[in-house]
C-alpha cells in the first residue's frame, strides 16, 4: 500500500462531491480523503496498484481543482 499526499484547493463538501467521481474511477485507488480543516486542504490517497501523483493531479484538474504533491 502506498500513500500519496497533496496540497489542494478542495475546501468544502461540495468540492469533495465534485471530485469524487474522478478519484473513485482512478485505477488503483483503495481509499482517499480530504482534510478540509487543514489550511493546506490535504488530500490523502491510498493506492495499491502503482498509482502516480501525476494521475491524481490530472484527474483533479479535469474537475477544475489543483493539487501539488507534498
pLDDT the model gives residue 54: 95
pLDDT one-digit tens code per residue, 19-46? 999 999 998 899 999 999 999 999 999 9
Contact 32, 43 (CB under 8 A): yes
- Cα gap 23→19, rounded to integer Å: 6
Q: How far is CA 44 from CA 24, 53, in A?
A: 13, 11
Contact 23, 66 (CB under 8 A): no
pLDDT the model gives residue 40: 96
Q: List, in order of start, the domains of the chain with CATH numbers.
A: 2-69 (3.30.70.100)
Strand partners, 35: 42
pLDDT one-digit tens code per residue, 53-68? 999 999 999 999 999 9
pLDDT the model gives residue 1: 83
Amino acid at each position: 500500500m502506498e500513500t500519496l499526499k497533496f496540497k489542494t484547493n478542495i475546501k468544502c463538501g461540495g468540492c469533495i462531491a465534485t471530485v469524487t467521481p474522478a478519484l473513485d474511477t482512478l485505477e488503483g485507488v483503495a481509499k482517499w480523503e480530504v482534510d478540509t480543516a487543514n489550511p493546506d486542504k490535504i488530500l490523502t490517497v491510498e493506492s495499491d496498484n502503482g498509482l502516480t501523483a501525476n494521475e491524481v493531479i490530472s484527474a483533479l484538474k479535469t474537475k477544475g481543482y489543483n493539487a501539488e504533491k507534498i
